[in-house]
Chains A and B, each alone.
Chain A
């Protein structure tokens, strides 16, 4: 984040507020507690070190934090095993390669192999498949699902693709202009979206399930997303909302619990 960014509030991980930690204490949480997979896989690895070096470094950190003594043979084994788990046919050769010699899908799998070694409690994935092709994306998504099942890792999957969110997640949080608009179980949010923004978003998605009985016209949300420099008053979605009321323009609604859903909208009592 830029140096002048201002963060307040709390980020609680396992009962510890990460924002109160010093940079040095924070180091201990990176990788083994929180791990992030970035959108562009080419910038997430060191271009001048081999894949093997980088995976073994991860293995060393895992061992040190787990209170084990570092053994190079053991680290090599762990790296090979992780690459095998990610379906690399010849892991020994991949270990000797540099990032630029691999394809986007392969690098994204290397990053996932790294997370397999580090065994984080939380895996944050920021559009990890948007640079990948459809078939490779499907391969990587299947790996993510398998990893979360096998390692019991929580995944925060950031995406703008609702169909993809449906496939990978169990719970959906919808953000608009920096605020949570809706939060609930994936099936129920997709089937019965409550917030007008979620409704518009889902109506506008070209998803194959909509075209089962022929073509339907996609509905689009009018207008553009707001600029953060000049956010609208009241509810941030009101200029684009079809159900806008007077109160929406003046006062921002609070997150309210409705049944098993959390919504920020005056339609549901604000």
Chain B
């Protein structure tokens, strides 16, 4: 074996309280309810690759991204960064080498700071050369844009500012949370191509979170599909897209509007509640191939022909 994967999680979990439990509730014996946003997720990301994390809203993909940049603390499981187990005292070390870009740049950047202040903030001090260099790398002009505030820039430009801010400390690993979904159609391709160029140039590793299947295909080397807090399938992007194995992935692909195909064939029903997920496999109420065991026992994510799949169709019962 060569290098350890830059990111590795083992049964990582994050639960949130669904509502506040007051003293009275406690006296009356009300039990806390937990939202299982990320439930026993094990993934690996190799240095230099882009892992596309696909999932619908509420599938836990953003929470997983936040766990990996230590913005959230896990409630269980292990997280290894560059082969080292991440504990409380390792968090500052991890934070030196990771960054995150959020979906809506207008709400994730301080509206009262100028562009150059926003970009230099992660450094802790102002360094004109570094800011200028980062701005040039994302296609912004220091003299023209440096003194503007976010509201004076267009959506595409503000997202470039967020990207410049993410790369200024030369991180190794960046979590990109739907970075193009708030952008105009004509700007989406610009930003995607910029991200791919930066990855080459700076030898970055990306976790690209998205619900847009086509965007995931375009940017990723490998993809992982999340459903209701769990990874249900992961593998090489071409293989997963050509031959999806999990029934959810199959129906997801048939739901994507594509030029040249007029018919959509989505799964019936809706994404389940994470407070009270269905027993057994979480997809079973919507699955066309449901078997008795799916209702009782949860399938594990196992390796079948170079693919990770969590489905009883592919494993011994």
Contacts and interface: CB of A to CB of B under 8 A. Distances in A.
A209 B264 CA distance: 14
Given A135-B56, A135-B251, A224-B156, A208 B256 contact: yes
Interface in B225-275: 238, 241, 251-252, 254-262, 264-268, 270-271
Interface string B98-112: 000000000000000
Interface in A197-232: 200-201, 203-209, 211, 214-215, 217-222, 224-225
B217 interface: yes
Interface of A: 87, 103, 105-106, 133-139, 141-142, 160-164, 166-167, 190, 200-201, 203-209, 211, 214-215, 217-222, 224-225
Closest 10 CB pairs of A and B: A138-B266, A204-B189, A138-B255, A220-B189, A133-B56, A138-B264, A218-B189, A220-B190, A206-B214, A163-B257
A130 to B, nearest CB: 9
A133 B264 contact: no
A200 B256 CA distance: 22
B40 interface: no
B16 interface: no
B96 interface: no
B218 A218 contact: yes
A207 B259 contact: yes
A167 B214 contact: no
Nearest to B180: A206
A225 B187 CA distance: 9
A83 B238 CA distance: 40
Contacts of B266: 134-139, 142
A155 to B, nearest CB: 15
Contact of B258 (A141, A209, A218): A209
Nearest to B273: A103
B109 to A, nearest CB: 18
Interface string B189-208: 11011000000000000000
B214 A163 contact: yes
B20 to A, nearest CB: 18
Contact of A224 (B187, B192, B218, B254): B187
Contact of B264 (A142, A222, A224): A142
Nearest to B185: A160
A166 B271 contact: no
Interface in B209-225: 211-215, 217-218
Given A133-B271, A142-B266, A208 B214 contact: yes
B255 A209 contact: no
Given A135-B267, A201-B186, A204-B185, A217 B213 contact: no
B188 interface: yes
B89 to A, nearest CB: 39
A206 B186 contact: no
A242 to B, nearest CB: 13
A87 B257 CA distance: 21
Q: Interface size bucket, B side?
A: 35 or more
B57 interface: yes
A91 to B, nearest CB: 16
Contacts of A224: 154, 156-157, 187
| Among A137, A206, A211: residue with most chain B CB under 10 A | A206
B189 A141 contact: no
B257 A167 contact: yes
Given A134-B255, A211-B214, 17 more contacts: A106-B270, A133-B57, A134-B256, A136-B270, A138-B256, A139-B266, A166-B262, A190-B259, A201-B185, A203-B189, A206-B189, A206-B218, A209-B260, A218-B192, A221-B186, A221-B189, A224-B154
Contact of B193 (A133, A209, A217): A217
B157 A206 contact: no
B72 interface: no
Interface string B1-25: 0000000000000000000000000
B296 interface: no
A206 B255 contact: no
B170 to A, nearest CB: 26
10 contacts: A105-B270, A134-B211, A134-B212, A161-B185, A162-B185, A163-B257, A206-B188, A211-B218, A215-B218, A222-B190
| Among A219, A221, A222: residue with most chain B CB under 10 A | A221
Contacts of B218: 206, 211, 215, 218
A182 to B, nearest CB: 14
Contacts of A208: 213-214, 217, 241, 256, 258
Nearest to B186: A221
Contact of A164 (B189, B254, B257): B257
B184 interface: yes
A134 B266 CA distance: 8
A231 to B, nearest CB: 15
A122 B189 CA distance: 34
Contacts of B192: 206, 218
